[in-house]
Structure 1
Amino acid sequence: MKVNTLAIVVSFILGGVAGAVALKQLDRVGPQTGASQHSLTTLELGSTSRGELTQASAINLKDGSRYQAFRFLPAQAGLLRIQQHGALEGHLTLLNADHEIIQNSVLDELYVLIDETSRQTPLTLVVSGASASAYGPFRLETEWLEVMSERSLEVNQEVTGYLTGSVNQYEVTIEQFGMYQFDMSSSKLDSYLTLTGLGLNQTDDDGGDGLNARLVLMLQPGVYQLGASTSYSVEEHGFGQYQLRLQQLNTMQDLQQGGELEVGQRVQGMMQQSEVVEYSFSLQQERRLRIALDSDSFDTVLEVQGAGIRFSDDDGGIGTNSLIHETFPAGDYRIQVMAYGAGQGVFSLRIH
């Protein structure tokens, strides 16, 4: 049986394969051999199975580690999660009916997507020690997960999804002109977002926390396509569970995208990638001013020029925020709000 006719098997692994199972030993063992210590144990899906690696366990001929094998029949189509818990430091390996290695994991989870043609195909799960000195008890928990059948994402909605080797596409309908934030987060994979539609084509890799992806965009009403994937090759690392969230941050009534300002005024605006937002103000007489540009979303850059002078600042405020505190002669001035690099998101600008 070919591997690709079985199913798409998902494991969270960001490096290479750690160790291999002694396949020839598995060929010789099973309920019919009478060798009880090397027999395959039945894995009951939907319940907890227990095991322990000891010096009496079967030996991996490659690295001397111990292992225990479990046989199971999926019997239904869907997404199956297999988790290893307990004191044992180990990893999971999944084999098909021909004892071919489908997937290894150095972590404690495997996600198996079973289709209708492969649900009657027996699989073998092997729990191996991470090294020759790894021993201890463990337990295996299995759970059938609900996979989203509808590929749509609504405003102020959060959904759980699973990457299974390709990009997941969602349809997003925006009804009100405003600013929106898309977040794709996962504790296991490096997330990646793409938004297209109405002439827009925006991507993000690590704009959120850690390796999470975030897009903050001003969107016109209409229909968009949101792609959720990983920045790595989808064939090798495009697997795993993630959370996807869409929220509306502001409407245009909440923002002032440029224009005239008064001393003492504070406004909010929206920075999009490679954009410069310009404001202006006037002074009737010389005055010392603080001009503060703050954002929780990007590294701000502030520039003020006019009346024959020019001031600029990057990180003069708190953190990566900008602050200019200078004496300005009477005259007309232009303020340029920018991002360092390709930053985007909401900002606040205050003159006082």
Structure 2
Amino acid sequence: MVSPASNRQRWIGAGAVIAVLACALPAAAFAQTAVKVGDRVSGEITSRSRINYNDGSRSDVYALALKKDDTIALRAEGALCARLVVLEQGAVLGDSGRNQDECEDEAPARLSFRAPADGRYEVAVSGFGPRDFGPYRLQVERTEAYRGGPLRAGAEISDVLAGGGNRYTLEVAELARYVLDMTSTEFDSVLALEGPGVELEDDDGGGGYNARITALLEPGSYTVKARSLEDAATGGFNLAVASRPLPEGVELRNEGALELDGAALTGSLAGGEREYTLRLDARRLVTLDLASEDFDTSLVIAGQGTRLRDYYSGGDMDARIVAVLEPGDYAVRAGSSDSDGMGLYTLQASSAPVPAGTGYGVLRLGKASAATLPPGGKDRYRLSVPRGGSYRIAATSPSLDVMVDVIRDGEVVASDDDSGGDMNALAEVELEAGEYELVVSSWNTEAGRYEITASRGR
């Protein structure tokens, strides 16, 4: 997600910042004030401060002597909407990256960095334009940064982002649900997790511009990658690892045969889909339910010339498929609606005899078919179109808000909800000669009687 300019930083390249300072008056004309770790100094940007001839802004520059691997947190606040830049021998080491729009919330400028070597560093405090003047307070503090070693459940570390991002090893000792949180007030966090059967990434899942990954992890070693959405960004951040044990008595089943006994199995998702097999010995009315508290679900069943997908028919962003299926083998796939969901889910399947009057089979042109739609169900008809032309597919009901889809080779070629008046569906569509599938469903997933007709258009 790209951060809006109105409430998030825009990072500028190192070359641009160097150009900004290079356009200032000669350094000899402005003595630098030395600061040290622990100092809190006050200053003011005025018309006498050194000028940047590129944009007219003014700057105060401080000299800061550091040892290799010293980790420093800078903070500037006050009436001046400040921007902070740190340089080492003329090269930009860090930039607070704020834009002027952020001045409205009066948030202080923050910048954390790690000294790559012993030496003298320059800290520049500036405004954003030729009319940005005012007092400020600059605070220089040492901060503890992570010194290495693997992460484990319960770890909470602070670190400074290096160019290209940081990498950590996560050691997982037991099967559990893990939550990784990366938070920062200095840049837009991005977090990635890679390991056995897992490849996940998140930008804003932790709220605001913070990253969060939730995944069920098997024992083993994983790689955690922390970076910013903007490649040039740097700054301080926190990384926390928490684990949540599986509920008592839960055993995971991420594949295998799916029984039609109504019993719920528990599986885990870490992106992608989990596939199960389902076998029918006779024509049955089958109900599949997929539910999760961790992600929005997607449910697919495919086989014997049928392929059905559902997202929300089970309510509360859970999936349900109710359909009459012919004998044979089917693949049932459990996934998330946005393809990268992660967490636990439950899946259950049951079957019943096909009720009399259930909509199913062949629909002939010009002949109406009446049926009863089961709760959450989707009735399916085969329609043969002898020649191309204009056709009308109408579905009417005295009680249901009916919908109709016209499908060919797995692709929806027409869909309608209320064009037939009241809550009735009418799809008027140009069709080529061939075989089609008509799907009748209810917008509110309720059960009820309906009638469907296919005819030549006028």
TM-score by length of 2: 0.58
Q: Within 1, Cα distance between the matches of 2:73 and 2:141?
A: 5
Residue of structure 1 in register with 2:246 after alignment = 250
Q: Return closer, same or farther for 1:212/1:76 CA change in 2, 3 Å cut-off.
A: closer
Residue of structure 1 in register with 2:28 after alignment = 27
Q: Return closer, same or farther for 1:286/1:101 CA change in 2, 3 Å cut-off.
A: closer
Q: Secondary structure at the match of 2:273?
A: coil
Q: Within 1, Cα distance between the matches of 2:92 and 2:68?
A: 21
Q: Return closer, same or farther for 1:153/1:321 CA change in 2, 3 Å cut-off.
A: same
Q: Secondary structure at the match of 2:66?
A: coil
* 1:57 aligns to 2:49 (yes or no): yes
Please state how far the C-alpha of 1:76 moved relative to its aligned partner.
Answer: 7.3
Residue of structure 1 in register with 2:409 after alignment = none
Residue of structure 1 in register with 2:365 after alignment = none
| Paired AA for residue 176 in structure 1 | E
Please state how far the C-alpha of 1:206 moved relative to its aligned partner.
Answer: 3.1
| Paired AA for residue 37 in structure 2 | L
8 A contact 1:295–1:346 mirrored in 2: yes
Q: Given the alignment, which residue of 233, 239, 260 partners 1:237?
A: 233
312-321 vs 299-308, greater mean Cα deviation: 299-308
- Which runs of structure 2 are paired with 1:122-201 in the superposition (5 Å)? 122-187=120-185, 188-196=187-195, 200=197
Q: Within 1, Cα distance between the matches of 2:211 and 2:95?
A: 26
Q: For 1:317-351, what per-residue CA distance to the aligned partner results, in whole angstroms no more than 9, with x for missing partners?
A: 55653233x47589899643233434332223356
Q: Within 2, Cα distance between the matches of 1:318 and 1:135?
A: 56
| Paired AA for residue 243 in structure 1 | L
- Count of aligned positions: 322
Q: Return closer, same or farther for 1:294/1:331 CA change in 2, 3 Å cut-off.
A: same
* 1:109 aligns to 2:105 (yes or no): no
* 1:66 aligns to 2:66 (yes or no): no
Q: Within 2, Cα distance between the matches of 1:27 and 1:179?
A: 59
| Paired AA for residue 186 in structure 1 | S
More relative contact order, 1 or 2 (CA 8 Å, 6+ apart): 1
Residue of structure 1 in register with 2:357 after alignment = none
8 A contact 1:88–1:135 mirrored in 2: yes
106-115 vs 315-324, greater mean Cα deviation: 315-324
TM-score by length of 1: 0.73
Q: For 1:52-81, what per-residue CA distance to the aligned partner results, in whole angstroms no more than 9, with x for missing partners?
A: 223443433332222222233236751001
Please state how far the C-alpha of 1:105 moved relative to its aligned partner.
Answer: 3.5
8 A contact 1:265–1:351 mirrored in 2: yes
* 1:94 aligns to 2:86 (yes or no): yes
Percent identity, please: 22
267-276 vs 176-185, greater mean Cα deviation: 176-185
Q: Given the alignment, which residue of 316, 319, 322 partners 1:322?
A: 319
Q: Within 1, Cα distance between the matches of 2:159 and 2:233?
A: 15
Q: Within 2, Cα distance between the matches of 1:309 and 1:75?
A: 68
Q: Within 2, Cα distance between the matches of 1:279 and 1:92?
A: 59
134-143 vs 150-159, greater mean Cα deviation: 150-159
8 A contact 2:265–2:348 mirrored in 1: yes
Residue of structure 1 in register with 2:437 after alignment = none
Please state how far the C-alpha of 1:216 moved relative to its aligned partner.
Answer: 4.5
Residue of structure 2 in register with 1:301 after alignment = 298
Cα-Cα RMSD: 3.9
Q: For 1:294-313, what per-residue CA distance to the aligned partner results, in whole angstroms no more than 9, with x for missing partners?
A: 33444421134689976431
| Paired AA for residue 237 in structure 2 | Q
Q: Within 2, Cα distance between the matches of 1:155 and 1:102?
A: 33
8 A contact 2:198–2:270 mirrored in 1: no
8 A contact 1:53–1:137 mirrored in 2: yes
Residue of structure 1 in register with 2:334 after alignment = 337
Q: Within 2, Cα distance between the matches of 1:156 and 1:109?
A: 27
Please tell me whether Structure 1 or Structure 2 has the larger radius of gyration of its CA atoms. Answer: 2
Q: For 1:177-209, what per-residue CA distance to the aligned partner results, in whole angstroms no more than 9, with x for missing partners?
A: 34444443434133232423xx55624243734
Q: Within 2, Cα distance between the matches of 1:329 and 1:77?
A: 66
Please state how far the C-alpha of 1:267 moved relative to its aligned partner.
Answer: 3.9
Q: Within 1, Cα distance between the matches of 2:25 and 2:65?
A: 21
Residue of structure 2 in register with 1:313 after alignment = 310
